[in-house]
Amino acid sequence: MANQFDVIILGGGPAGYVCAIRAAQLGLNTAVVEREKLGGVCVNIGCIPSKALLHSAYVANLIRHDAKELGITVEGVKLDFGTAMRRSRQVSEQNSKGVEFLMKKHKVTVVRDTGTLLPGKKVQAGKETLAASKAVVLATGTRVKGLPQAGLELNQTSVISSDEALLLEQAPKSLAVIGAGAVGCEFADIFNAFGTQVTLIEILPRILPLEDAEASATIARSFKKRGIEPLAGAKVTGAKVTPKKVTLEIEVDGKARTLEVEQVLVGVGRALNLENLGLEAAGVKLTDRGFVQVDKNLKTTADGVYCIGDIAGPPMLAHKGSREGIFVAELIAGKQPHPIRYDNVPSVTYCHPEVASIGLTEDQCQERKLEYQVGKFPLTASGRARASNETEGFVKIIRDKKYGEILGAHIVASHASEMIHELAVARENEYTVEEVELTVHAHPTLSEAVAEAALDSLGRVLHL
């Protein structure tokens, strides 16, 4: 039968398409049901285009703040937001076409329609009924949402989400970003670089509230220096919305404040794509928090149905979803996949400087009453950081006091996203800080700061 497959995957984002590739590699006849462009939010309207814009922002700031000191005189600098945006869209298109190519290369059938789960490992895709002999995998991801309780319903003009922000033709003169997590901080960085007056509003006591407190404080200082106003411990109590401006009523530290801006960008989480999937009829249950209920092998409560990515629960990160896709594909193929260590999934915020982390923060170690030792190395002491004129930040390693096991690692640096993986590999393989330090690090590199932080946790730092 043409509609008979070994595996059917609902969703072609980072979790779904990676699962499809791995399943096909293992000899499984695989189909992906996807109504939008392949690559999901990440490739088309999230991770990839935002990083393209962040690179434009980085270059703009480099020219504006560092060029003269580096011996480069630049006259008549003009920032063109429209051109930067068009480039970001081109990058997205290239990546999405790349995913299409991979589907063809691995002979994965792509069904362009909306999929609904049916009992008995079947999927309704438009007028077609598809059947899976081995498994159906749910990977439908998430979508943006507004903040209706504060009077901020998305209207695509003055109240926007990250979706609309990645399609704007020009930067607004003023912008309030609601939510200072990774998404909020990244967009604050982008628009500030292109001349927008940005106010960053976070209800919790500090921006980047899930990161180490020192990392959050470093980014807050960096933002203030560049003219971004971070308001932590701030609550939006009301909003007057018109098509061309928004007036916000804010409570900060018990004091009322009014803020008028051209646009508001709401970045306070995402909604799960679970509606009209046929979950209840197929026997798939949800958790109290609304995620799909899964066991340690990502199996749902329905026979032969798995779930991966954002809808399977936090952390809601593309790379976590991709790893789950590989895990499930191997499980379906009869392999014994390496267990996913969720506390070792790197978290990265791509503002400048970047923030990257794995494992526990100091606060979490204290809450758990763990005996720990901290090693820290500031980039002001790094020869490579000085040479690059990028000395904002540090490397911080938290180790078990007795055995040297890495409990957590936190990096603020221009290339923190590239530096964190050395420590993720070490922690995944239960290496100690001694083993990190024993590895020879090339000189001069930012990665030397990792070795120095490891040494500092042992009381043997060299260049400080």
Could you confirm whether 443 is annotated as catalytic?
A: yes
**For every residue of the chain, which 3-state class applies, written as one string?**
CCCEEEEEEECCCHHHHHHHHHHHHCCCCEEEECCCCCCHHHHHHCHHHHHHHHHHHHHHHHHHHHCCCCCCCCCCCCCCHHHHHHHHHHHHHHHHHHHHHHHHHCCCEEECCCEEEECCCEEEECCEEEEEEEEEEECCCEEECCEHHHCECCCCCCEECHHHHCCCCCCCCEEEEECCCHHHHHHHHHHHHCCCEEEEEECCCCCCCCCCHHHHHHHHHHHHHCCCEEEECEEEEEEEECCCCEEEEEEECCEEEEEEECEEEECCCEEECCCCCCHHHHCCCECCCCCECCCCCCECCCCCEEECCHHHCCCCCHHHHHHHHHHHHHHHCCCCCCCCCHHHCCEEECCCCEEEEEECCHHHHHHCCCCEEEEEEEHHHCHHHHHCCCCCCEEEEEEECCCCEEEEEEEEECCHHHHHHHHHHHHHCCCEHHHHHHCCCCCCCCCHHHHHHHHHHCCCCCCC
- Flag whether pLDDT at 1 surpasses 50: no
Q: Which long-range contacts (CB under 8 A, 24 or more apart) does 104-107 make?
A: 106/20, 106/21, 106/24, 106/25, 106/30, 107/24
**Region label for 195, one of left (φ > 0), alpha (ψ between -120 and 50) or beta (otherwise):** left
pLDDT at position 76? 84
pLDDT score of 254 more than 90: no
> Within 13 A of 21's CA, how many CA atoms are on the CB side?
22
In a shared domain, residues 19 and 114:
yes
On whether residue 347 sits in a domain, the answer given is: no
Confidence band for 342, pLDDT divided at 50, 70 and 90 = very high
**Is residue 464 assigned to a domain?**
no
Query: How far is residue 446's CA from residue 377's CA, in Å, rounded to a whole number?
Result: 11
Residue 52 has pLDDT above 80, yes or no: yes
- Residues 137, 278, single domain; the answer is yes
Same domain assignment for residues 16 and 135: yes
Q: Are residues 25 and 107 in the same domain?
A: yes
Judged against a pLDDT cut of 80, whether residue 287 lies above it is answered with yes
Are residues 375 and 261 part of one domain? no
Please tell me the distance from the alpha carbon of residue 176 to that of residue 162, in angstroms, as a whole number: 13
User: CA-CA distance, 163 to 144, in Å (whole number)?
Assistant: 7
Q: What is the pLDDT of residue 33?
A: 98
Domain end point (choices 319, 342, 365): 342
Average pLDDT over every residue of 239-250: 95
**What number is the average pLDDT over the span 92-118?**
97
How many residues make up the chain in this entry?
464
Q: CA–CA separation, 63 vs 49, rounded Å? A: 22
Q: What is the pLDDT of residue 391?
A: 97
From 410, 415, 443, 463, active-site residue:
443
* Judgement on whether residues 362 and 317 belong to the same structural domain of the protein: no
51 lies in some domain: yes
Q: Which among 248, 268, 288 is the end of a domain?
A: 268
- Taking the CB of residue 217, how many other CB atoms lie within 10 A of it? 15
- Averaged pLDDT score across all residues of the chain: 96
Cβ-Cβ contacts under 8 Å for 222 (sequence gap 6 or more)? 352, 353, 392
Joined together, the tokens standing for residue 451 give: 């070795």
Query: 380 near 353, Cβ under 8 Å?
Result: no
**Structure confidence by residue, pLDDT tens digits, 184-239:** 999 999 999 999 999 999 999 999 999 999 999 999 999 999 999 999 999 999 99
**Res 144: pLDDT:** 96
Q: Are residues 208 and 185 in the same domain?
A: yes
Residue 44 lies in a domain: yes
Amino acid at 162: S
- For residue 293, pLDDT over 80 is answered with yes
As beta bridge partners, residue 135 has 7
Q: How many CB atoms lie within 10 A of CB 86?
A: 12
CATH number of the domain encompassing residue 331: 3.50.50.60
In this prediction the pTM is 0.95
Report the percentage of the chain scoring pLDDT > 90.
Answer: 98
* CB neighbour list of residue 101: distance below 8 Å, 6 or more residues apart: none
Statement to judge: residues 361 and 299 lie in one domain: no
Q: Write out pLDDT tens, residues 374-414.
A: 999 999 999 999 999 999 999 999 999 999 999 999 999 99
Residue 112 and residue 126 share a domain: yes
User: Count of domains in the chain?
Assistant: 3
**What domain range includes position 362?**
353-457
pLDDT (average), residues 240-254: 94
The dihedral sign for the CA sequence 187, 188, 191, 196: positive
Q: Which pLDDT does position 253 carry in this prediction?
A: 87
